[in-house]
Chains A and B, each alone.
Chain A
Amino acid sequence: MTAGIDLGHPQAQAIQSDEDVVRVRQLVRTVAVAARLSLVDQTKLVTAASELARNTLVYGGGGVAEVTTVDNGRRRGIRIVFADDGPGIVDLDLALTDGYTTGGGLGLGLSGARRLVDEFDIVTGSGQGTRITVIKWSR
């Protein structure tokens, strides 16, 4: 995952309730607008953030989202880190398969979110919590 240089400090939003998922969406949108992402890219990023924030709440038992504007020298982008101390994901390949779900959803959260962003990195394991990092670059 290309790191890029951080522009400014990350803005954090705790994810402990339904309303917090809405707050994550609003925070991501504000930052995406400020970073001049195109309307479609904003929409994709906010949608991905919504899926991942809900996962953090439902499967991770709550956690935190950190939103940072980054610059890789050529383009500006937004990096969002979703971290929780939940049970972690045991079979990552299976979890990233379209349609697979353990929570009664559509099973599009992880796999769908991955398609909506430019970079997607996940660190997890049984009992280790989950840390998902995504980046969307401006076109």
Chain B
Amino acid sequence: MERVPVLKIGDILLVSIQVDMSDQTAVQLQEDLAERIVATGCHGVIIDITALDIVDSFVGRMLSTIASISRVLDAETVVVGMRPAVAITLVELGLSLNGIRTALNVERGMELIAAAQADDYDYSAEDEPDDETTATR
């Protein structure tokens, strides 16, 4: 079975899916990512799907699950690089990928994560009551 590599760049885990994943590979990726988030303590996950020519309901569900898991582990997930044809198909399929944050490309995705982390920092610095951030910092 093929395995999708997970790269660590600074405070971000980058997953670039380059193969047509079998369902098993997708499930494996989900497990690998959860482990790496805990092991590295990263607060951002970028999943680059530029190379994917389709996203079906299984992969869609995997993306949602990864986003939920990483949220529990205090990491922000951004899915980047979805192709127009894939987005149109997903809308027709009826999959809205609720709760997943998206960006046009890796660069925009990194900006998004940086912005989210800056917010966390701002809030704790300003000493605003913010349950989300006080627990971890």
Contact between B86 and A18, CB atoms less than 8 A apart: no
Instruction: Name the interface residues of B81-130: CB closer than 8 Å to any CB of A.
Output: 83-86, 88-89, 92-95
Residues of A near B86 (CB, < 8 A) are: 43
Main secondary structure of the interface of B (DSSP, over half): helix
Contact between B94 and A105, CB atoms less than 8 A apart: no
A19 to B2, CA, bound (A): 10
Contacts A/B (CB < 8 Å), 23 sampled? A18-B23, A19-B22, A22-B20, A29-B53, A39-B85, A40-B85, A43-B53, A43-B85, A43-B88, A44-B88, A46-B53, A47-B54, A47-B89, A106-B61, A108-B93, A109-B57, A111-B94, A112-B93, A112-B95, A113-B93, A115-B93, A115-B94, A116-B89
Contact between B61 and A105, CB atoms less than 8 A apart: yes
19 new A-B contacts, CB < 8 A, other than A98-B94, A106-B95, are A18-B22, A18-B23, A22-B22, A40-B89, A42-B85, A43-B54, A43-B88, A44-B88, A44-B92, A47-B56, A51-B93, A54-B23, A54-B58, A106-B60, A112-B57, A112-B93, A112-B95, A115-B93, A116-B92
Instruction: Name the interface residues of A69-90: CB closer than 8 Å to any CB of B.
Output: none
A116 to B58, CA, bound (A): 16
A109 to B20, CA, bound (A): 19
Q: Write the nearest CB–CB distance from B67 to chain A, whole angstroms.
A: 15
* Contact pattern, A 94-113, Cβ under 8 Å of B = 1, otherwise 0: 00001000000110110111
Instruction: Name the interface residues of A106-139: CB closer than 8 Å to any CB of B.
Output: 106, 108-109, 111-113, 115-116
Q: Write the nearest CB–CB distance from B114 to chain A, whole angstroms.
A: 32
Closest 8 CB pairs of A and B: A43-B85, A112-B93, A18-B22, A50-B56, A108-B57, A40-B85, A47-B54, A106-B57
Q: Which residue of A lies closest to B24 (CB)?
A: A18
Check: B79 CB closer than 8 A to any chain A CB.
Answer: no
Residues of B near A18 (CB, < 8 A) are: 22-24
Known: A25-B20, A116-B89. A46 touches B95 (CB 8 A): no
Residues of A near B80 (CB, < 8 A) are: none
**Number of residue pairs across A and B with beta carbons under 8 Å?**
71
| Among B54, B88, B95: residue with most chain A CB under 10 A | B54
* Contact pattern, A 51-63, Cβ under 8 Å of B = 1, otherwise 0: 1001000000000
Contact between B54 and A50, CB atoms less than 8 A apart: yes
Q: Using a CB–CB distance below 8 Å, which chain B residues touch chain A? A: 20-24, 53-58, 60-61, 83-86, 88-89, 92-95
Q: Which residue of B lies closest to A50 (CB)?
A: B56
* Contact pattern, A 20-36, Cβ under 8 Å of B = 1, otherwise 0: 01100110010000000
